[in-house]
């Protein structure tokens, strides 16, 4: 297992470098100069442009800036955000916690709701509950997230105002006690997390239904039934672990979302997270932020798929029994 | 959650959804400011402002963002505050940090006497702070984009702790405006950072100010909180205790929040939404001049756009009233350019070219363009600006009626600018923001072709150059106005640009907000200290 982890981590290094380099080249190759966006709409003298470019180090050749960024990033210095007037690290430090909170809540909803619905599907396969849940899932997967978000705001923040329409905090909450602030955060989190998690929960439920249907027909499940295990025990202790593989892989691949954020949900709900930071940076050609966001996302994609493999091996005895040396 | 709403339940959902659908064909609402009625102003409370934009920097001299600058002007007071009277003459000013000012007999020195005021940390505001600010404004390392307004100020002299003199190289109409431009900074705070580090310094931790409000907290991408400055020189202001800016990058969400009572003030309501938003219970609209205009720039370095008659014909073929009515929903007016109509130097007697497709077709026919040999060109704009993209389509339709074939095309902003500066275009739709002054020389001067200047339409006119020189040399505003008038007529005749429209800006005020006035279009939050919240 350790060998597998080590090899996967090592193979990730060239991948990270490749992705970051490609991103740098693509952003650099785009027409125009970053200073254009720093200088506003009005007429600009060449002298002013030169001074502004020099202040941000944009007057140096691109390869030099690339190498300098790589060197600084290895020391933990991700550079200066041109569009936000702060270090990239402090921009991320502010944007990461809300994104992690939102993605973690959405992931929890996705797994809990998905597993629950997936299990309900197979209580009576082909029955009306199975069909109704399938239809509801199809609707959730089909509707665009922004529409679901807007409708949930209209329903639960305007018509029946039980949740706030946007942001992560109430006005003046900074002066509240810690428990009150935590409750306030959960209150603000509810709608965006539900919207973000609901569509994915439907996918989890479909994956799980298919896995459970297969597992329930396998020999070890029949053996458990023959030993007199209850239906609930058969489902939870025997069929579910065997059917969990695709779900865990799916959850692992969702890990990058924990930090990369969901742009649509963050925009619709005014959630101050990484999705918006990255989107704004792309639009403003804020190269240091774009590079750092890509770096972070790449690292997490690698870590996510690794964690999914490890998790899979841990829950499925059939995989645990194999030696991972073949990979 | 703020309450105060009377509608609820599924009926309300239907109403809101229906309103969203109906808004697609809504018309303009009339201007209406929230009135105080007979209620006396109340102190206290929190004003919640909705904004699409976040601040880019908490230093006026490195920030490039209009919204951030509007907030910074509430934190760092200027020597004076512009009054909204620039339509008839150069703007006059209400004293702020300066108690009074006077010109020397030769009109080359402008001396300000500061009021007895202090920074929010208790340090007195001195003439040294004023001189320090001027040093920063003109420092090449800072690279302030407004530094051109200070070009004729040769020195700022500290005469006494509360007396400061601005020395000019010559007298001209806008000396007072140029001296006052820019918030005064506390030297004991900003002076600790070398000028060459200003652009890469995080100013969000600075809590010292002189204006009615101070920055209390900033949650980037989410919320800005300004709090009442207890040491503001006017003890009667501001009336509200706090201003909280909720940052949501979606105007639809902000409008929903206004409807829900979660925000009290929203600026930049799209014209197509104005009728619906203005019809929300208790919500009133404030419509004010947007100090910018949009235009079509013709590439004068390319045939046939180097011919003023062809440019005039194209202007005659564009129905600008239809653009204002259909795309701005009436929230705008036809621009005669190149001066904003609400600016004192503009000549109101200058007529806009009419929509005259018959005459346009006749001119083009005389130039050899007909159905067999149509004039065809590409009209570009920047992607993402929905109004401008719609304008290119509208112009395509209008000019097709006189036999001109237009191919609209959008480019990402950086690519768009690069093409224009390189002269790699036929015609483009863009706009100019007007922050009190427009540097006409860098736009129309024969020597201002890129990269030396911003004359991207390659306009060359000895007459216009002479008039620009006359504007620069005018000693007083009446003679400057006359020179501006002659210059505007020259541009009007030559049509290097077809000036399309001046848009209006729409703000919406919630039921609790009172006395929100917008007198100075370039500084819509100027009167923020006098608005109040009904409890």
Of A43, A45, A98, the CB nearest to B443: A43
From the CA of A69, how many Å to the nearest CA of chain B? Answer: 16
Rounded CA separation B181/B202 (Å): 23
All residues of chain A having their beta carbon less than 8 Å from the beta carbon of residue B454 are 43-44
B454 touches chain A (CB under 8 A): yes
Tens digit of each residue's pLDDT (9 = 90 or more) over A153-184: 889 988 888 999 888 998 888 889 999 999 99
Task: Please state the ipTM of this predicted complex.
Answer: 0.75
What is the band of B32 on the pLDDT scale with cuts at 50, 70, 90?
very low
How far CA A289 is from CA of A59, A80, A91, A281, in Å, comes to: 18, 8, 9, 6
Q: Which residue of B has its CA nearest to A86?
A: B202
- With contacts defined as CB-CB under 8 Å, which chain B residues touch A152? none
Taken in order A106, A112, A118, A121, the sign of the CA dihedral is negative
Query: Does the CB of B479 have a partner CB in chain A at under 8 Å?
Result: no
Highest mean pLDDT: which of A195-209, A251-265, A293-307, B497-511? B497-511
DSSP B236-285: T--SSSEEEEEE-S-HHHHHHHHHHTS-SEEE---HHHHHHHHTSTT-EE
CB atoms within 10 A of CB B357: 17
Q: Which residue matches tokens 């191919």?
A: B407
User: Would you give the DSSP letter of residue B33?
Assistant: P
| B266 at interface of A, judged by CB pairs closer than 8 A | no
| Nearest chain B CA: its distance from A184 CA (Å) | 11
What percent of the residues of chain A are helix, what percent strand, and what percent coil, each to the nearest 5?
A: 75, 0, 25
pLDDT band of B504, cuts 50, 70, 90: very high
Q: Is B416 helix (H, G, I), strand (E, B) or coil?
A: helix
CA–CA gap between residue B89 and residue A98 (Å, rounded): 51
Q: Does B21 touch chain A (CB under 8 A)?
A: no
Grade residue B229 by pLDDT with cuts at 50, 70 and 90.
Answer: very high
State yes or no: pLDDT of B18 exceeds 70.
Answer: no
CB pairs under 8 A between A and B: 176
Average pLDDT over residues A3-30: 83
Return the pLDDT at A316. 66
Task: Report the Cα–Cα distance between both ends of chain B, in Å, rounded.
Answer: 16
At B21 the pLDDT is: 32
| pTM for this model (two decimals) | 0.82
Phi/psi zone of residue B491: left (φ > 0), alpha (ψ -120 to 50 degrees), beta? alpha
Q: Is B433 on the interface with A (CB under 8 A)?
A: yes
Residue A42 banded pLDDT, cuts 50, 70, 90? low
Out of A47, A52, A272, closest to residue B222 by CB? A272
| CA distance linking residue B213 with residue B238, whole number of Å | 8
- Name the residue of chain B whose CA is nearest to A275's CA: B221
Rounded to a whole number of angstroms, the distance from the CA of B104 to the nearest CA of chain A is: 33
B43 touches chain A (CB under 8 A): no
For residues B506-520, give the mean pLDDT.
93
Q: Is A165 in Cβ contact with B262 (below 8 Å)?
A: yes
Strands (E), chain A: 80-81, 86-87
Of B64, B242, B452, the CB nearest to A46: B452
Report how far residue B430's alpha carbon sits from residue B435's, in angstroms, rounded to the nearest whole number. Answer: 17
Q: Do B220 and A272 touch (CB under 8 A)?
A: yes
CB–CB of B196 and A55 under 8 A?
A: yes
Q: Closest Cα to residue B272, out of B292, B291, B251, B257? A: B251
Put residue B406 in one of left, alpha, beta given phi > 0 → left and psi -120 to 50 → alpha: beta
Question: What average pLDDT does the segment A223-228 reach?
Answer: 84
Express each pLDDT in A103-119 by its tens digit: 889 989 988 999 899 88
All residues of chain B having their beta carbon less than 8 Å from the beta carbon of residue A165 are 253, 256-257, 260, 262
Q: Is A293 helix (H, G, I), strand (E, B) or coil?
A: helix
CA-closest candidate to residue B510, choices B178, B196, B284: B284
Confidence of residue B446 (pLDDT cuts 50, 70, 90): very high
The answer to whether the CB atoms of B13 and A159 lie below 8 A apart is yes
The per-residue pLDDT for B16 is: 38
pLDDT for the residue numbered A259: 63
- Collect all residues with Cβ–Cβ distance below 8 Å to B317 and sequence separation of at least 6: B355, B356, B357, B360, B361, B398, B399, B401, B402, B404
Q: Which residues pair with A204 in a beta bridge?
A: none
Interface contact B227, partner A, CB < 8 A: no
What digits encode the pLDDT tens for the residues B383-438? Answer: 878 899 999 999 999 999 999 999 999 987 778 888 898 899 999 999 988 766 77
- A39, A41, A285 ranked by CB distance to B433: nearest: A41
Our CA-based measurement puts residue B137 at a distance from the nearest CA of chain A, in whole angstroms, of 13
Question: For chain A, how far is it from start to end, CA to CA, in angstroms?
Answer: 10
């Amino acid at each position: 297992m350790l060998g597998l982890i080590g090899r996967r981590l090592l193979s990730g290094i060239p991948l990270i470098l490749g992705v970051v380099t490609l991103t740098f080249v693509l952003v650099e190759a785009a027409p125009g100069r970053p200073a254009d966006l720093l200088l506003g709409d009005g007429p600009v003298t060449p002298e002013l442009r030169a001074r502004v470019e020099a202040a941000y180090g944009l007057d140096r050749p691109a390869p030099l800036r690339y190498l300098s960024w790589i060197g600084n990033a290895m020391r933990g210095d991700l550079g200066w955000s041109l569009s936000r007037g702060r270090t990239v690290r402090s921009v991320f430090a502010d944007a990461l916690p809300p994104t992690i909170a939102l993605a973690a809540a959405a992931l929890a909803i996705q797994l809990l709701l998905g597993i629950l619905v997936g299990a309900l599907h197979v209580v009576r396969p082909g029955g009306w509950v199975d069909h109704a849940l399938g239809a509801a899932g199809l609707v959730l997967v089909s509707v665009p997230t922004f529409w679901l978000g807007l409708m949930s705001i209209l329903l639960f923040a305007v018509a029946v105002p039980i949740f706030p329409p946007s942001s992560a905090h109430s006005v003046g909450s900074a002066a509240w006690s810690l428990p009150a602030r935590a409750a306030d955060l959960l209150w603000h989190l509810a709608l965006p997390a539900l919207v973000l998690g609901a569509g994915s929960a439907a996918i989890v439920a479909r994956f799980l239904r298919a896995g459970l249907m297969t597992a329930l027909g396998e020999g070890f499940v029949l053996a458990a039934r023959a030993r007199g295990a209850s239906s609930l025990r058969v489902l939870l202790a025997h069929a579910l672990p065997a059917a969990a593989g695709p779900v865990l892989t799916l959850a692992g691949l969702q890990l990058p979302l924990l930090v990369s954020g969901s742009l649509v949900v963050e925009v619709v709900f005014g959630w101050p997270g990484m999705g918006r930071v990255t989107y704004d940076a792309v639009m403003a050609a804020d190269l240091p932020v774009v590079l750092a966001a890509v770096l972070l996302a790449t690292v997490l994609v690698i870590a996510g798929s690794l964690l999914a493999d490890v998790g899979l091996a841990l829950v499925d005895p059939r995989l645990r029994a194999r030696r991972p040396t073949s990979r | 959650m703020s309450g105060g709403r009377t509608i609820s339940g599924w009926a309300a959902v239907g109403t809101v959804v229906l309103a969203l659908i109906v808004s697609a064909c809504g018309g303009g609402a009339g201007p209406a400011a929230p009135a105080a009625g007979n209620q006396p102003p109340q102190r206290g409370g929190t004003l919640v402002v909705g904004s699409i934009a976040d601040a880019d920097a908490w230093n006026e001299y490195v920030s490039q963002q209009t919204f951030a600058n509007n907030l910074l002007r509430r934190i760092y007071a200027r020597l004076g505050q512009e009054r909204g009277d620039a339509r008839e003459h150069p703007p006059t000013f209400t004293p702020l940090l300066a108690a009074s000012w006077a010109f020397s007999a030769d009109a080359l020195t402008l001396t300000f006497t500061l009021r007895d005021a202090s920074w929010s940390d208790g340090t007195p505001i001195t003439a040294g702070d004023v001189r320090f600010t001027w040093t920063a404004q003109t420092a090449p390392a800072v690279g302030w984009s407004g530094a051109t307004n200070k070009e004729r100020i040769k020195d700022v002299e500290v005469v006494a702790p509360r007396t400061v003199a601005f020395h000019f190289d010559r007298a001209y109409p806008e000396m007072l405006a140029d001296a006052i431009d820019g918030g005064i900074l506390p030297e004991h705070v900003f002076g600790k950072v070398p000028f060459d580090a200003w652009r890469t310094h995080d100013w969000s931790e600075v809590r010292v100010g002189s204006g009615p409000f101070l920055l209390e907290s900033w949650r980037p991408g989410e919320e800005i909180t300004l709090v009442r400055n207890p040491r503001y020189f006017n003890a009667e202001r501001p009336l509200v205790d706090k201003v909280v800016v909720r940052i949501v990058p979606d105007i639809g969400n902000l409008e929903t929040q206004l409807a829900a009572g979660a925000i009290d003030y929203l600026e930049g309501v799209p014209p197509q939404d104005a009728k619906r938003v203005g019809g929300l219970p208790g919500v009133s609209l404030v419509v004010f001049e947007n100090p910018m205009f949009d235009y079509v720039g013709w590439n004068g370095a390319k045939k046939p756009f180097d011919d003023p008659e062809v440019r005039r014909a194209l202007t005659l073929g564009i129905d600008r009233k239809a653009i204002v009515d259909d795309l701005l929903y009436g929230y705008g007016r036809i621009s005669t350019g190149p001066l904003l109509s609400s600016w004192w130097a503009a000549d109101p007697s200058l007529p806009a070219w009419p929509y005259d497709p018959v005459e346009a077709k006749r001119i083009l026919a005389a130039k050899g363009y007909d159905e067999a040999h149509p004039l065809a060109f590409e009209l570009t704009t920047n992607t993402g600006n929905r109004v401008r993209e719609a304008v290119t389509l509208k112009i395509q339709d209008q000019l097709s009626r006189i036999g001109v074939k237009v191919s609209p095309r959008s480019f990402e902003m950086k690519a768009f600018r690069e093409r224009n500066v390189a002269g790699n275009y036929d015609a483009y739709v863009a706009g100019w923001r007007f922050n009190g002054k427009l540097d006409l020389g860098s736009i129309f001067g024969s020597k201002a072709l890129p990269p030396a200047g911003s004359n991207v339409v390659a306009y060359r006119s000895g007459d216009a150059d002479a008039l620009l020189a006359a504007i620069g040399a005018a000693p007083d505003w009446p003679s400057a106005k006359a020179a501006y008038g002659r210059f505007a007529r020259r541009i009007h005749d030559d049509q290097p640009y077809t000036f399309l429209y001046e848009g209006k800006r729409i703000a919406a005020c919630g039921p609790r907000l009172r006395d929100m006035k917008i007198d100075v279009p370039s500084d819509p939050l100027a009167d923020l200290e006098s608005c109040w919240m009904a409890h």
